[in-house]
Amino acid sequence: MNEEKDTYTLEDLAPGSTALADISPPARLSVFGDPVAHSLSPQLHNPALKALSIDSRYIRVQVAERDFPKALALIQEKGFLGTNCTIPLKFAALGACDHVDDLALKLGVVNTISLEDGKIFGSNSDGPGFLRAVREAFAIDAHDLRIMILGAGGGAGRAVTVQCALEAPERLVLVNRTREKAESLRAEIAPMLEDEAIHSASSRVKVAEWSDAGLEAELGNIDLIVNATSLGMKRSDPALIQPHLLQPHHLVYDMVYSPQRTKLIADAQNNGARTANGLSMLLHQGAISFETWFNREAPLETMRNALQAALGAGDGPLI
């Protein structure tokens, strides 16, 4: 019987390769990425598959962007049920699908692929996973919050921003180091927030300057602050928000989860604000992908416990 690898390659999927032969349970799900070696997705999904007695294994596959169509064809030939797609493959996945659901089209990226009857179906669990995480952490829905998103122009920030816009919050403030990216995104989502009976879109969504003065002018009228950047992963990273600008009424969601207590979270807690990190988003993203593939409720607590155990042994990026 072959010994399971931490990470597989395109060659391992090729016809004639025995790399996946005799693995028990058989590999039927995966995550594609470049890099992918530190993804926690297998630690999240394999305990869930085992808990529900599903005879499938979830593996990591290193896939360069240029090789994405080939990798997708190879797992189809091997009878896979689907795959997750992480950086930098989410845009390639969007173009490779036969069918893409409405939400993934609006978000502009696919991170969950389902393979059924020779067809490729694309969806996205980023935005819905974020909404579930916020609801779980703070017992309130995004619709009822005034939201500021730091890093609104990036990949993760874009998905969260569009998802928040679809929830029609009272106020949505976009902040990005490259202001032009935030302005472009504001123009894209403004029609989603048009409601003349309440407010015009121009008053509900705006772009703020990423400076102490720019943030201070907005934060008094913000409930939820979201860090959608990677800043906070290193001790040397600059402060996202000066500590004195964080207030007790703020809810702070930092999508970084390694370390689990970033400087932003520490500063917010010291000022009496409620906080949560990106671990819950990773959990709920995975659960939504699982539910997409199997059309049944994911064993959330099993997945949560497995993820916490995995983080005790090592860290990895968001899928």
pTM: 0.91
Q: What is the per-residue pLDDT for 1?
A: 57
Q: What is the per-residue pLDDT for 236?
A: 86
- 307: helix, coil or strand? helix
- For residue 176, what are its two tokens? 């990005």
Residue 2 lies in a domain: no
- Considering the domain architecture, whether residues 139 and 272 belong to the same structural domain is answered as yes
Which DSSP state fits 108? Answer: T
Q: What is the CATH number of the domain that holds 194?
A: 3.40.50.720
Residue 3 lies in a domain: no
Residue 209 lies in a domain: yes
Distance CA 109, CA 89 (A): 9
Containing structural domain, residue 295: 10-124+282-313
Residue 257 lies in a domain: yes
- Considering the domain architecture, whether residues 112 and 158 belong to the same structural domain is answered as no
- Considering the domain architecture, whether residues 157 and 42 belong to the same structural domain is answered as no
- Considering the domain architecture, whether residues 271 and 292 belong to the same structural domain is answered as no
- Considering the domain architecture, whether residues 27 and 76 belong to the same structural domain is answered as yes
Asked if 5 is an active-site residue, the reply is no
129 contacts: CB under 8 Å, gap ≥ 6? 281, 282, 283, 284, 285, 286, 287, 288
Residue 4 lies in a domain: no
The answer to whether 245 and 269 are in contact (CB under 8 A) is no
Q: What is the CATH number of the domain that holds 38?
A: 3.40.50.10860
Number of domains in the chain: 2
Marked catalytic residue, from 5, 70, 78, 90: 90
Q: How do the pLDDT tens digits run along the chain, 319 residues long?
A: 567 899 999 999 999 999 999 899 999 999 999 999 989 999 999 999 999 999 999 999 999 999 999 999 999 999 999 999 998 898 899 999 999 999 999 998 899 999 999 999 999 999 999 999 999 999 999 999 999 999 998 778 899 999 999 999 999 999 999 999 999 999 999 998 876 444 555 679 999 999 999 999 999 999 999 999 988 888 889 999 999 999 999 999 999 988 889 999 999 999 999 999 999 999 999 999 999 999 999 999 999 999 989 887 444 444 4
Q: What is the per-residue pLDDT for 91?
A: 87
Order across the sheet with 119-123: list the strands: 57-62, 27-33, 82-85, 112-116, 119-123, 99-100
The answer to whether 163 and 195 are in contact (CB under 8 A) is no
- Considering the domain architecture, whether residues 133 and 265 belong to the same structural domain is answered as yes
Distance CA 105, CA 95 (A): 10
The answer to whether 40 and 307 are in contact (CB under 8 A) is yes
- Considering the domain architecture, whether residues 165 and 214 belong to the same structural domain is answered as yes
Residue 211 lies in a domain: yes
- Considering the domain architecture, whether residues 222 and 95 belong to the same structural domain is answered as no
Residue 195 lies in a domain: yes
- Considering the domain architecture, whether residues 91 and 199 belong to the same structural domain is answered as no
- Considering the domain architecture, whether residues 135 and 233 belong to the same structural domain is answered as yes
- Considering the domain architecture, whether residues 152 and 222 belong to the same structural domain is answered as yes
Q: How would DSSP label each residue in 201-246?
A: HHHHEEEE-SSHHHHHHHHTT-SEEEE-SSTTSSTTSPPSS-GGG-
- For residue 177, what are its two tokens? 């180091």
Order across the sheet with 146-150: list the strands: 205-208, 171-175, 146-150, 224-227, 251-254, 274-277
Q: What is the per-residue pLDDT for 2?
A: 67
- Considering the domain architecture, whether residues 147 and 273 belong to the same structural domain is answered as yes
